[in-house]
Amino acid sequence: MPERTLASELKASVGRRVRLQGWLHNLRKQGKVNFLILRDRTGFVQAVASPGEIEILQGLQMETVLEIEGTVVEAAPAPGGFELQNIVLKIINPVTDVAPFSFHQKEFNASLPYFLDHAAVGQRFPRQRAILKLAASAVEGFRKTLRSLGFTEIFTPKIVGSATESGANVFQIDYFGQPAYLAQSPQFYKQIMVGVFERVFEVAPVFRAEKFDTARHVNEYLSLDAEMGFIENHFSVMDAVSTVIRGMLQCIRENISDEDRQLLELEFPAIPDSIPWIYYPEAQEMIFKRYGIDARGEPDLAPEHEKAIGRWAKEEHGSDFVFVPGYPMVKRPFYTHPSSEDPRFSNSFDLLFRGMELVTGGQRLHRYDDYVAALERAHYPVESFKEYLECFRFGMPPHGGFAIGLERFVAQLCRLDNVKWVTLFPRDINRLRP
RNA sequence: GGGGGCGUGGUGUAGCUGGUUAACACGCGGCCCUGUCAAGGCCGAGACCGCGGGUUCGAACCCCGUCGCUCCCGCCA
């Protein structure tokens, strides 16, 4: 009995008797000649069968797990040019119920809520597999690029004793009788680790107890975090972000198959050698003058403003990405480093991707006294940040970092209308399962 | 915390200026077909139109309530 052959290896096995295993993806019965499509992790294989050869499938449904033994034949009319003939089928695990989806349909005709209810099966859709594979490549690119820049990967706790930023928006849990929280961000830990490795990154979920129900929020998402020491200012961090984004796109480009690329109708984004940037107040002036949207003086950008800035970047600079540095301090967390020119504004930035906020980053405070002052200004008790602040008493270099929302990156890249298509089993305001 | 939209066979939708056999596509079952590839053709099963109440001679279609889903704003990745 030959070893298992994969769909992708068919070409190399012409003329040989092979054995494939996978799922019954489709069965086109047409009398004397029938076509059976088997799906495995590498793709699809067509097998030609006589009525007698598929008799065993009587009463069975799609997604039945099968073994097909057959002879590989080069056949011009077969998809891909190769197919199996003279087959012998063996049922590995029969399916008798009708699946909630028909995966072989060209059109993806499932609504998001129905899809999510049946995501345990729905993720088998070729389109979903393509999305998830792309997400994996994005993360691989993130890791690869940062490692090449001298960053060390770290793993920080997700159960924490105090809230990172405001105290609101955290999930509280019962930790052996005392209150604990799910980490909203690895912020403190990655800063601490700058004192150890200078440059660190982490790929991990973060938890946000925000009661939002929008196409771009989920309550648990994958945050691609990085933090680096010995920087000049936030522009040093922006340079790193540019390199990382480019590395992620490059890795996706290298790994994606032509089939997946077509399936997703993937359009690689326009990313010039230097990603354009526009200062926060200038961005507000610009969208007022250019698009008549008045957000001047407002401390934050609304989605509408981000879309306008994204449009401007595309029209003026041919870029799907645009940095907006210089957000007002009032809207940024206490550890944010103020601008040396105007302390009302910060050395922090957002990166917009096709008009959506994708990355937030910036320079952090690095002197102990500055932290104490910042915490007092924000009316936070210094005491509860004591352990976090300890590292700043023993020498921290000027540093900064950023966080990329993976789901948003992939959703924007694939032009999906909701990040939940990208999130394997999304946790949202009213969905805790599957 | 505010605001909008939707809720029709298993799925995705049409019907919604009220009129009584609720339509289409996919899926499902049967039959036909020796080259399909979103196979095709014919036949068939399957929804009393989220739920409750109201208006009316008559409601999937109008009104009220309720539940569910979804999206937007606040926030943010």
Look up the ipTM and state it: 0.89
The CA–CA distances, whole Å, from A419 to A3, A169, A355 equal 40, 20, 15
The CA–CA distances, whole Å, from A392 to A65, A191, A362, A387 equal 58, 10, 18, 10
d(CA A60, CA A54): 11
In the complex, which nucleotide's C1' lies nearest to the CA atom of residue A101? B11
pLDDT of residue A212: 84
Determine the distance between A113 (CA) and B4 (C1') in angstroms: 19
pLDDT of residue A2: 67
**A248 and A402 in contact (C-beta within 8 Å)?**
no
pLDDT of residue A103: 92
The CA–CA distances, whole Å, from A124 to A25, A102, A262, A287, A310 equal 10, 10, 17, 43, 34
In the complex, which nucleotide's C1' lies nearest to the CA atom of residue A220? B77
Q: Sketch out chain A's domains with CATH numbers.
A: 4-93 (2.40.50.140), 120-421 (3.30.930.10)
Determine the distance between A161 (CA) and B1 (C1') in angstroms: 28
CA nearest A332: which of A374, A384, A270, A385?
A374
Cβ-based neighbours of A393, under 8 Å, separated by 6 or more: A368
User: In a 3-state reduction of DSSP, which class is residue A36?
Assistant: strand
For nucleotide B73, the protein residue with its alpha carbon nearest to C1' is A302
d(CA A389, CA A376): 14
**A270 and A315 in contact (C-beta within 8 Å)?**
no
pLDDT of residue A204: 96
Give A345's strand partners.
Answer: A328
In the complex, which nucleotide's C1' lies nearest to the CA atom of residue A117? B69
pLDDT of residue A228: 97
d(CA A350, CA A357): 7
**Strands A152-153, A172-175: parallel, antiparallel or unpaired by DSSP?**
unpaired
CA nearest A407: which of A429, A427, A434?
A427
In the complex, which nucleotide's C1' lies nearest to the CA atom of residue A61? B28
Determine the distance between A385 (CA) and B61 (C1') in angstroms: 61
pLDDT of residue A83: 95
Determine the distance between A42 (CA) and B69 (C1') in angstroms: 36
Residue A49 tokens read as 């069968």
Residue reference for tokens 């489709």: A26
d(CA A86, CA A26): 18
In the complex, which nucleotide's C1' lies nearest to the CA atom of residue A59? B29
In the complex, which nucleotide's C1' lies nearest to the CA atom of residue A51? B34
**A97 and A25 in contact (C-beta within 8 Å)?**
no
Determine the distance between A357 (CA) and B27 (C1') in angstroms: 39
pLDDT of residue A280: 93
d(CA A103, CA A105): 6
For nucleotide B40, the protein residue with its alpha carbon nearest to C1' is A30
Neighbours of A216 (CB within 10 A): 17
- Positions of strand B less than 7 angstroms from a protein CB: 1-3, 10-13, 26-29, 32-40, 68-77
d(CA A192, CA A366): 10
pLDDT of residue A371: 93
pLDDT of residue A306: 93
Q: Where are the alpha helices (DSSP H) in A256-337?
A: 258-263, 280-291, 303-317
CA nearest A18: which of A27, A29, A28, A7?
A7
Residue A24 tokens read as 């019954």
d(CA A129, CA A41): 10
CA nearest A328: which of A350, A352, A351, A356?
A350
Determine the distance between A75 (CA) and B31 (C1') in angstroms: 30
Q: Would you list the DSSP string of A349-383?
A: EEEEETTEEEEEEEEE--SHHHHHHHHHHTT--GG
Determine the distance between A108 (CA) and B19 (C1') in angstroms: 38
Determine the distance between A1 (CA) and B62 (C1') in angstroms: 71
| Ranges in chain A, pLDDT < 50 | none
